[in-house]
Structure 1
Amino acid sequence: MYPSEFKYLAAESVDDALTLIADHEFAEILAGGQSLIPLQKERLAMPDYVIDISEIAELDYIEETADEIRLGAVTTHTTAEESELVREHVFIFSECISKIADRLVRNRGTVGGTVVEADPDGDYMPVMKLLNPDVVVTGPDGERVIPFSEFYIGMFTVDIEEDELLTEVRLPKLPLLPEAAGVGSTYKKHVNRSGDYAIVGVAALVHVDDDGSIIDARVTIGSVGPLLTSEGAADAVVGTKLDEASLEAAADAVEAEVMPDQEGRLGAYKRAMAGEFTQQALRTAYERALADSQ
């Protein structure tokens, strides 16, 4: 199907984009187009205007501060994935990107577009919930800096006004607790075919002490109903060296906490896979934390 008729507008700067947004009702923002264009083809999005921000140079960057890696909104997935700054300080984000669709999509899709879309089945979502980066939105009254935990309201719903534009995502460098000897993280994705949307996506972060015991853990689950942080899984492994009993307890906790968005056998399958991939993610994160502690 072809999109409904619309007028294309190219923004040359953030100020230009904000002016175009203010002057044109029923407009949609085009960054990479990997979400908007399919929606237009299906007539699920029928804007009168499409405002293209993809060529705004001031939104295409990756910068380092003392505590963060900052990514401009139109930075592509591929650029972020291949960035040495991202790989060194927030490897889980690079790992997550490598599992998105295929190279063609990653070459066009953008960091800002994916975060603002808030697709509950998107690979970014569990990692964003785990890291809780600050999200910067810019409007006529200036910037707002919003923690992801407050920015993300629910599926396809975020805290951004019609006259605002997402301009930056600030990823925290993976924290090393003062008392920790090592930190490890990972994102695990269960799919039917490579490049598909996740059936289950699990992000995990583990800190260990000198003895190899887990002193802090975080586990987030996506694509199985509402985006979830599993307190039960974290509680099950903290204080252990990740033996089979603690892994099974973590899986049981996740299976009890998730609320699959399908019923019957498919819902039961997603629940079971959420537990299984929680174990896989915790194993990998723990192994990386041990290696980091050496």
Structure 2
Amino acid sequence: MIPAQFDYIAPTSIDEAVAALAQHEDAKLLAGGQSLLPVLRMRLNAPETVIDLGRIDSLRGVRDDGDAIVIGAMTSHTEVRDHPLVREHALLLAKATAEVADPQVRHRGTFGGALAHADPAGDLGAPALVLGAEFVVAGPAGTRRVAAEDFFVDLFETAVGEDEILTEVRVPKHTGWGAHYEKFVRTAQQWPIVAVGATVRTEGETIAEARVGLTNMGSTPLRARAVEDALVGQPASADVVRAAAAHAADGTSPPADLNGDSDYRRHLAVVLARRAVLAAVGD
């Protein structure tokens, strides 16, 4: 499979990349390429121009910024998974990133690329949502921040404009929170049929705060707010978690496909929420 012919641009700065987007109407951004390259090779999309972000060093890395950590959009999944700042202050992201595809994809794929792709079955959207991430977007008018609640618009659609680039993601620190990402697949390294990410802060034997996110239970990542509300202020016991997890599918509209119908996914959400929260409490 060979892509259709296209022009190739490799800017070395964010400003150059934004300018290239403005100059080329039919252009696609190339980050890690784990989603775009297969599409190009199968000719499901044939842009006139591909803008490769791989030479923009400022888009890589993880840094401490006071009450948040900042992850560059071109930072690989492997680096996010292993970075000490992520493991200390956003453990849920480290655990979710460890479940992305296979070692090759985690090495080449990028944190920002996966989030901008906005596949509802992607492993990173729900953790970013529950951690209250902010997405920094650069365009002709400068930079702006978009809250996670507003970033995921619909299936494969985000708040990033056609002339904008996702440059970094700011994640508020959740230091000392337990976390777990529970994913159900039919075969290893597959997109999740359903997954649940949970991060919990306890005070003694009581759940002080809880955040639970759902993957592939709708056209965008979702918060399981009924579960969260049922957990906060309660003892960190198996019975409490089981009763709260029973509400995991409340208000959701999961898809139906060859991997399972909507009712099956609702059942999975309940089971996986119970497992994820119990593991997070234990963590």
Deviation at 1:100, TM superposition (A): 0.5
Q: Which amino acid aligns with 1:268?
A: D
Distance in 1, matches of 2:238 and 2:160, equals 43
Q: Which amino acid aligns with 2:271?
A: E
Paired residue for 1:179?
Answer: none
Distance in 2, matches of 1:263 and 1:91, equals 32
| 3-state DSSP of counterpart to 1:245 | helix
CA contact (8 A) 1:131 1:172 kept: yes
Q: Percent identity?
A: 36
| 3-state DSSP of counterpart to 1:282 | helix
Distance in 1, matches of 2:232 and 2:21, equals 48
Q: 2:234 matched to 1:240?
A: yes
| 3-state DSSP of counterpart to 1:170 | strand
Q: Deviations over 1:258-283 (max 9, x none)?
A: 32201796322211111000000110
Paired residue for 2:214?
Answer: 221
CA contact (8 A) 1:250 1:275 kept: no
Q: Deviations over 1:35-79 (max 9, x none)?
A: 111111232222111000111111112111111111111111111
Paired residue for 2:261?
Answer: 266
Q: Deviations over 1:127-178 (max 9, x none)?
A: 0111121111111111101111112212211111221111111111115xxx
Paired residue for 2:249?
Answer: 255
Distance in 1, matches of 2:148 and 2:275, equals 25
Paired residue for 2:27?
Answer: 27
State the 4+ residue runs in structure 1 displaced beyond 3 angstroms. 242-245
What is the aligned length? 281
Distance in 2, matches of 1:263 and 1:31, equals 29
Q: Which amino acid aligns with 1:280?
A: R
| 3-state DSSP of counterpart to 2:34 | coil
Paired residue for 1:67?
Answer: 67
> What TM-score comes out, normalization by structure 2 length?
0.93
Q: Which amino acid aligns with 2:171?
A: L
> What TM-score comes out, normalization by structure 1 length?
0.90
Paired residue for 2:122?
Answer: 122
- Show structure 2 runs of 5+ residues with no match: none
Q: Deviations over 1:170-228 (max 9, x none)?
A: 111115xxxxxx63122111111221101111111222223x11122121111122422
Distance in 2, matches of 1:255 and 1:115, equals 23
Quote the RMSD (CA, aligned, Å): 1.7
CA contact (8 A) 1:237 1:247 kept: yes
